[in-house]
Amino acid sequence: MRTSTPSFGSLIKNPLATIIILLSISLVLLFLPPKLSGRIKATCVAPVRPLQWATCFCSNSVSNFFDRVISSWQDARVRNRLEEQTTQLKNKIVEQQDAIYKLQNKLTNLSKFQTENKNIKTNPIPADIIGYDTSNFRKSITINVGSKHGVKPNDFIVSNNALVGRTTKVSEGSSVVQLITDPASRVPGRVLQTREQVIVEGNASAFCSLKYVPRWAKLKKGDEIVSSDIGGVYPPSLPIATIVENEVQGGSLFQSVKALPKVNISKIESVLVITN
Amino acid sequence: MRWLTFFCILLCVSLFQSTLMNWINLGLAVPDLYFPLILFYSFLSDFKQNTIANWFTGMAKDLFSEGGFGINSILFVAVGFFIWSVRGILYRGHLITQVLSAFIFSIIYNILYVAHISLSFHSLNFSTTLWVIFICSFYTAVLAPLMFWIFSKFQPTQMLFSIRDK
């Protein structure tokens, strides 16, 4: 009696075989080393990055345009005069103003960082945010600079001289930045006023929590958290967050502390990458 | 099922979800636009097509998200299979069914996803996470009928409203 092994074509027609093959691929990808899976992700998503950049650019331009239109409505006299004189050139002016504003913002950030951090021998790279994380429980952004601009994994990201996060995946023209609010983020820090050493941990909300704050530490609302150079990833004295709430629960060894990050990521368009 | 249309829809959803969410999110409430897509194809297509569509949707979400590569594809296939298996008892064309299904299954998916994150990082606050799951699922459910209407413009939906399944 002859028995024949099923061909791949007939196997793929079987729904159960299809689901087993797809789930096997997912499981293999899930258990790959993070470096390798990160590389696969970066390669797969690279063709979509220009589209993402274009969408983000259009969205920012439209947003800025609406902001200016709304602000011009608020000032009726200025609006009337502008409407009479520059109706035809209005869009062009808005576009140019937007470009100037963005460049000025970048220049101010860059010069402010360089004057305030003369002791850090690094080269800041200005970058635009081109994408956000698609998951509700992970916090990351995508920026438009990558390895060809000199960015490497674990470079840290600042905005307005405050810490935003660190690069985790770097491809040729873009990088993924893990924000300090991501559940996987741990940043060594220090309370500015009391010098207590803490770990700033993300919890997928707009706030961070501080780990390992002893119950006897005298913290109060408004205390500042700055980075510490323990671990060697982050430079010292970079502002991270402000304490908004602290509580000592029952017999626990550590305080429960909630901190608000210095940078509201939804309100910035560009960041600085500080190469390590 | 038109696969080219499916991939175009998936690309648009991915671009919107990864770039334009600041326009429509309300504080912590961020809708998951991939989820109505899962629901739509689980209602519309047969088992095999549904599995493949859900797997690709999960992969797309994984590509644009930090974290394990493949976790969303596994969860979407599982949730999609569950929706597909109970679709016979649902009146799928009705707006209320779409909203309630999106809300319930989105909560199930989010709980599974959060369980996976909690196992890895132990850093999520229980009450905040529950609140985020609720409001995100609610917002997703509210947007589901609109997303269904958009998807049905591009995909044939004659099966969607039929009472008897093949």
Q: Which amino acid is at A116?
A: E
Q: B14: distance to nearest CA of chain A, Å?
A: 8
Region of A112 (left: φ > 0; alpha: ψ -120 to 50; beta: rest) is alpha
Tell me whether B111 touches chain A (CB under 8 Å): no
Superfamily of domain A49-181+267-274: Rod shape-determining protein MreC, domain 1 (2.40.10.340)
CA dihedral B36, B39, B43, B49 (to 10 degrees): 110
Same fold, A49-181+267-274 and A186-263: yes
- Domain A186-263: assigned CATH number: 2.40.10.350
CA distances from A93 to A49, A59, A107, B30 (A): 28, 18, 21, 34
Nearest-Cα residue of chain B relative to residue A20:
B51
Task: List, for residues B75-115, the tens digit of each pLDDT value.
Answer: 999 999 989 888 878 777 788 888 999 999 999 999 999 99
Q: Which token pair is B17?
A: 């979800």
Confidence (pLDDT) at A1: 43
Per-residue confidence (pLDDT) for residue A217, from 0 to 100: 85
Mean pLDDT of B128-139: 90
Task: List, in sequence order, every residue forming a beta bridge with A159; answer none if it has no partner.
Answer: A162
Nearest to B74 among A23, A40, A204 (CB): A23
Q: How confident is the model at residue B164 (pLDDT cuts 50, 70, 90)?
A: very low
Interface confidence, given as ipTM, is 0.77
Tokens of A224: 């500042």
Separation between Cα atoms, residue A243 and residue A228, nearest integer Å: 16
Q: Which is higher by pLDDT, A189 or A87?
A: A189
B15–chain A Cβ distance below 8 A for any pair: yes
Report helix, strand or coil for A188.
Answer: strand
Chain B interface test: which of A24, A39, A66, A135 (most B C-beta within 10 Å): A135
Please check the confidence at residue A184 and state whether its pLDDT lies above 80. yes
Using alpha carbons, list the distances in angstroms from residue A235 to A26, A155, A159, A185, A256: 38, 11, 14, 16, 26
The Cα–Cα gap between A186 and A218 comes to 22
pLDDT score recorded for residue B104 = 92
Q: Does residue A275 carry a pLDDT above 70? A: yes
* Cβ-defined contact of A134 to B34 (cutoff 8 Å): yes
pLDDT digits (tens, 9 = 90+) for A98-132: 778 778 877 887 777 777 666 666 678 889 898 88
What the block records as the tokens of B69 is 């590569």
pLDDT for B165: 45
Mean pLDDT, rounded, of chain B: 85
B110 near A CB under 8 A: yes
Residue ranges covered by each domain of chain B: 31-154
Q: What is the rounded CA–CA span in Å between residue A65 and residue A56?
A: 14
Sequence spans of domains, chain A: 49-181+267-274, 186-263
